[in-house]
Amino acid sequence: MLRSAHINWPTQRDHKEVWSLAWPMILSNITVPLVGLVDTAVIGHLPDGHHLAAVAIGSMIFSIVYWAFGFLRMGTTGLTAQALGAEDPTANRTLLAQSLVMATLIGLCIIMLQTPIIELALHWIAAEPLVTEEARQYASIRVYGAPAVLCNFALLGWFLGNQNSKIPLLLLTVTNLLNMVLDIIAVYGLGMHADGVALASVIAEYGSLLLGLYLCRSILRPMSGQLLAASLTQVRHYTALFQVNRYLFIRTLALLFSMAFFTAQGARQGTDILSANAVLLNFILLISNGLDGFAHATEALIGKRSGRQDMTGFYRTVTTAAIWSAITALLFSLFFWVAGGWVIQLLTSIENVQQQAMIYLPWLIILPLIGVWSFLLDGIFIGATQVKAMQNTMLFSVFCVFIPAWWLLQPLGNHGLWIAYLTLFLARGISGGWVFWQLSRKQQWQITRKASA
């Protein structure tokens, strides 16, 4: 349990500390949806709208498959930050190796199970036949990037846990620029469609892995401690990772179920609605990745404070991150209010899709102000490894709020679908805030320790 302490208002040092980690993560996170924006823009300017719909479905499938294992980043960040705060370099080294081993094994399993994964997903979405076939081509190529993607998750989490957000910025920027260039070459240079976008992603993902492994040396060289062989070969040494990651896994599955459900319901309203929602989902990715910059900084700093049992620093970090997260959310809303129509036109020249996207744009203007608190609370819970709370609030928000809201709002069509999706973010913020208040009131911020060997 963290030591009780008086909660002080953030100091200039607190603001500087949060920003030193947050700004590289904001920039690097924003490059992630920029890849999706480029994919959408490249495909969206082709004359036939089914190419855009196919990429939307294929990307969604792998958002679910890959993000389901997002615990490889989140769990690694929290535990690594705690090891750093506790000054345990052996645990730090061990966490990197264990996370990479776990990521590689899971990635290989995804490749082996690709046929049932892809076919079940396409059957469930039930898009038009032409869209489904091209989405299948996209998925059958994209799946071979699985080991690289998951290892990259582990690397990013480890770098961030070691309070280094500049290397993730470099990694993601280089990788995403490569992906953008390859997209343009594949589609406009080689005449490929969804298959070219998928191939570009796979090449960029392996390039990122090689660069990330090379850059690990800058942190490992001055670090003492040792990596014991038994910590990689004996299952009992993975206990802390399994304990944290099982809750994160279930939580992420629930979140991605909501995304898949949203996409599937849009697909059932026709290709134009599906394509318009796909364009607007890029806005959500931009919002979530931008706000996650402060959430990631919070993870790293909260984990470090937790490792040192420093309650005063814990709450000052929370307050500082909350202030800047709220300001950033307001700026996102203002940007979409002023420039949302221009961004839609940039992403697609298909008139029907543009018109449909403009109709539902107001919901995206509201979303940052509602969703900001769920992102911040996720960062707090990950850093303190209170991941069971994350799981429970997500399950409540998806199955007790989002799905019932969608069912009740079906007469409103796609407007009802968007309103229900906003209730998901609202419920996450309220339920997470209640859990945070309960844990703080009772001083029950329990810290999960990582064994050194």
Per-residue tens of pLDDT for the chain, all 453 residues = 454 444 567 777 877 878 777 777 777 666 655 555 666 667 765 655 566 777 777 777 777 788 778 778 877 887 888 888 777 888 888 888 888 999 999 999 999 999 998 888 888 776 677 778 878 888 889 889 999 989 998 998 899 888 887 888 888 888 888 888 888 888 787 877 777 888 888 898 899 899 999 998 888 888 877 777 666 767 666 777 777 778 888 888 898 789 878 888 888 888 788 888 888 887 787 787 777 777 877 877 887 777 777 777 788 888 888 898 899 899 999 999 998 888 888 777 778 888 888 999 999 999 999 999 998 998 888 877 788 888 999 999 999 999 999 999 999 999 999 999 999 999 999 999 999 988 877 665 554 444 333
pTM of the predicted protein model: 0.71
Quickly count: other Cβ atoms within 10 Å of residue 338's Cβ: 10
CA-based nearest residue to 138, from 23, 54, 243, 26: 54
Give the model's pLDDT for residue 107.
94
C-alpha to C-alpha distance for 300 and 74, rounded to whole angstroms:
10
CA-based nearest residue to 243, from 377, 445, 386, 398: 386
Give the model's pLDDT for residue 367.
92
Give the model's pLDDT for residue 401.
96
